[in-house]
Amino acid sequence: MTKINPRIDIAFKKIFGVEENKDLLISLINAVVSKEDQVDEITLLNPYNQKNFHSDKLSILDIKARGSHGQWFNIEIQITDEADYDKRALYYWARIYTNQLKEGENYTQLTKVIGIHILNFISIPDSKKYHNVFHVKEKETNLPFFKDLELHTIELKKFTDGFGEKFEGLGDKILNALDLWSAFLTRHDLLAEAKPQDPCVQKALNVLSVMNFSDEEREAYEDRLDWLRIASGSLQKAEAKGHRRGRKEGKEEGLKEGEKKGRKEERLLLAKAMLKEGINVAQIASITGLTDEEISKISHADKLTELYER
């Protein structure tokens, strides 16, 4: 397989979520957080393990880590837009925050949790910045109240939109470490040609260039890539129709159609995995909401995109 996309969650976690590449994760975290939360060492709480991939592949491939100063991090890359992503981000934060305590332990032992959400879509249309940071503050005075909660959104589409279609002058527009990592995730091909001086980014480019997948990993990667193509294609088709009725209306239609197909894609991926485990069609239909006919097509389709073409 060539030209692996580092925005696909499997590839992202194989780059940043393994012990031998902790320096890359440290560099990425420090590019996002403020000076007070910079780390010089981290402990990976759910490192990527190829041997466990078969049982873990249906889970969200986020990265959980604990920093050298006690703070916790949850790093996730999200390929396609989905409904209520803000609630999902807050839910993930809350789950990590509450899981810090064991039964009988005191609340004083709870420490800061920082959520870093790298998004391949626009999540906050009211902000022109591609990196936004959220805290709990008093409405009128802006006084910080609960300092343990911090959520970052990094919207890669806003980042790439700033370069134009041809990405001219990529090197001149990279102003900081987060710009550099965002360029790696979106246009690693052009970044490699520019030969960045940052040793961690150089290492990440090399890791990406030699990355190999097992058969199971390859299949999961291709399924997720198909998901990205489906959602992107739905948006483009609807936007084309929108030129006749108004661009805004077309884009909204595309988002709704992409969201609908994204949800079905999740159910197809789950059904596909369940079929491989020998679970009967009736149980799969009950769990996923798919019809018997839809489930029967899955085993005969080489790629999930074929299920939308039939």
**Bridge partners, residue 67, by sequence:** 42
CA-based max dimension of the chain: 63
Secondary structure element (H or E) that encloses residue 244, with its range: none
List Cβ<8 Å contacts ≥24 apart for 299-304.
299/275, 303/222, 303/223, 303/226, 304/223, 304/226, 304/227, 304/230, 304/265, 304/268, 304/269, 304/272
Tokens of 182: 């965002």
**Can you give the pLDDT at residue 61?**
73
Residue at token pair 């294609």: 233
Q: What are phi and psi of 76, to 5 degrees?
A: -135, 140
Q: Quick one: pLDDT at residue 198?
A: 93
pTM: 0.75
pLDDT attached to residue 266? 67
C-alpha 120/C-alpha 130 separation (Å) is 11
Strands 63-67, 42-44: pairing kind = antiparallel
Q: What does the block give as tokens for 47?
A: 């490192």
Q: List pLDDT tens digits, range 51-70.
A: 666 555 545 578 999 998 89
- What stretches in the chain show pLDDT beneath 50? 1, 58, 234-236, 238-239, 242-248, 250-251, 254-255, 258-259, 304-305, 308-310
Q: Find, among 23, 16, 4, the residue nearest to 48 by Cα.
A: 16
Side by side, which strands form the sheet with 131-137? 42-44, 63-67, 72-78, 113-119, 144-155, 131-137
SS3 134: strand
Q: In whole angstroms, what is the distance from residue 119 CA to residue 88 CA?
A: 13
**What CA–CA distance (Å, rounded) separates 79 from 101?**
31
What token pair was written down for 116?
């870093």
Which pLDDT value is given to residue 277?
Answer: 62
For residue 251, the model assigns a pLDDT of 45
* pLDDT given at position 177: 95
At 297 the pLDDT is 78
The rounded distance, in Å, linking the Cα atoms of 219 and 225 is 10
Helix (H, G, I), strand (E, B) or coil at 67: strand
Looking up tokens 């979106």, which residue turns up? 186
Predicted local distance difference test score (pLDDT) of residue 147: 92
C-alpha closest to that of 75 among 38, 110, 111, 119: 119
